[in-house]
Structure 1
Amino acid sequence: MKKSTRKVALISGASRGIGAAIAANLLANGWAVSLGCRSPEDVLVSDSENQLVCRFDAFDAATEQAWVDATLAKFGRIDAVVHNAGMMLPLSILEATDDEFDRTFDVNVKSPMRLSRLTWPHLQASGAGRIVMLVSLSGKRVKAERSSLYAMSKYAALALAHGLRKIGDADGIRCTAICPGFVATDMGTALTEVPAEKMTQPEDLAHLIRTVLELPTTTSIAEIPVNWTVEDNY
């Protein structure tokens, strides 16, 4: 196993949208990337030396361990984890069944928690480990009944990010929650009639996330709310 001379970032949900934009930005700026996707065959490998694509399914914990193992086998290190994968069922907290609750929390909370555990020793070994949690503004306020189940999971994801930030402080591991409003992705455009060109673009978030990953350890940022428009407090 040869250790990569580039820093290595794991990115979940990286086959399209925000995840794909993050991967492209990092690759173009000197990083190696390991992409976790439900459909790896959908990803075009543009740099076989610095890009790895693995099957990852938040409902299947075994794929998380396999992904981490494959990343270490190829690159020999993990310096950053970007928890980008997420799901949204348009249900209120009173409408949702126990199964729908479990599925939402499996993807938005439990899988990022497990991946953080698995990668933690490698983030410690990095000396400047970084975690980014894509949370959403729904983790900071509830705007509609039928987004309340999603918001509940994102509040938990925000708490997870804060917990990791506290735990990692002594080892120089920094965790930041990125909290966007509508983003011009398949999910974002399906939820609103706002024109895609007016929304925050995936490339905007990718630029912001790389900035967070590359900041020195002397800079610890807990949250960054991002919105496509002016909203009270955000």
Structure 2
Amino acid sequence: MTTIDTAAGAPRVAMISGASRGIGAAIAQELLSHGWAVSLGCRRPEEVVLDASLPVIACRYDALDPSTDEAWIDQTLARFGRLDAVVHNAGVMNPLSVLEASDEDFDATFDVNVKAPMRLTRKLWPHLVAGGEGRIVTLASLSAKRVKAERSSLYSMSKFAVLALAHGLRKCGEPHRIRSTAICPGFVATDMGTALTEVAPEQMTQPEDLARIVRTVLELPSSASISEIPVNWTVEDAY
């Protein structure tokens, strides 16, 4: 593959974690179809089928392995020469209550859902600043806004924390015109979503729905700062 020219008119570049399937893959496809260049962060990039005619690469990224942060960033810059946005999509759901969860369960959940996106953002921050108007999108959850079930309370704790991370990044980014937005979906028709409920997949929010929302947020000017967007497949009384 040839390196994309970073002159005026060159594609904007987004890094997407958890991009091999589901929501992450849908976001990647949406961005590619609208002129973005995309760097996919995947635990097994060798299993991802890429279209050689598109500005896309797949890199190894494991939320539990900090050494993959730098390698992914370096590979992205080597291929595209710039970085305009990051989409934090990788996550894990351990169906445990806050009383059932051990310290090890807590660490495993928070390491992936909270610590990993915070650490990755810290490392790539200088590149977002250099770009002039960087964008950060964090796939949180409606579980970041309410606790609906005992068995999802550990997960909710981590998502409340990652929502706070997204808001914290908004504050840090203000002087640099970097905008941070949290997307908070309910059940989505992915492997994870369909395993957690008996709602028919065709009734749920589709990954492509979220992908359109993410692209819209990424492409808005800095004069439109959006802190969070709740999205649900049905009407819920309150969050």
Does TM, normalized by the shorter one, top 0.5? yes
Q: Does 1:83 align with 2:88?
A: yes
Normalising to structure 1: TM-score of the pair? Answer: 0.98
CA contact (8 A) 2:38 2:56 kept: yes
Query: Matches of residues 85-234 of structure 1 in structure 2 within 5 Å?
Result: 85-234=90-239
Q: List structure 1 runs of 4+ shifted beyond 6 angstroms.
A: none
Q: Distance in 2 between matches of 1:95 and 1:207?
A: 37
Normalising to structure 2: TM-score of the pair? Answer: 0.96
Unaligned runs of 5+ residues in structure 2 are none
SS at match of 2:40: strand
SS at match of 2:211: helix
Q: Give the CA deviation at 1:171.
A: 0.4
Q: Does 1:67 align with 2:72?
A: yes
Q: Distance in 1 between matches of 2:47 and 2:211?
A: 20
Q: Distance in 2 between matches of 1:173 and 1:39?
A: 30
CA contact (8 A) 2:32 2:54 kept: no
CA contact (8 A) 1:11 1:84 kept: yes
Q: Which amino acid aligns with 1:181?
A: G
Q: Distance in 2 between matches of 1:101 and 1:64?
A: 22
Q: Which amino acid aligns with 2:145?
A: K
Structure 1 residue aligned with 2:61? 56
Q: Distance in 2 between matches of 1:219 and 1:126?
A: 18
CA contact (8 A) 1:10 1:81 kept: yes
Unaligned runs of 5+ residues in structure 1 are none
Taking only aligned residues, the RMSD between alpha carbons, in angstroms, comes to: 1.1
Structure 2 residue aligned with 1:8? 13
SS at match of 2:229: strand
Q: Give the CA deviation at 1:126.
A: 1.0
Structure 1 residue aligned with 2:44? 39
Q: Does 1:27 align with 2:32?
A: yes
Q: Give the CA deviation at 1:233.
A: 2.3
Deviates more, 1:38-47 or 1:25-34: 38-47
Q: Distance in 2 between matches of 1:47 and 1:206?
A: 22
Q: Distance in 1 between matches of 2:52 and 2:164?
A: 35
SS at match of 1:111: helix
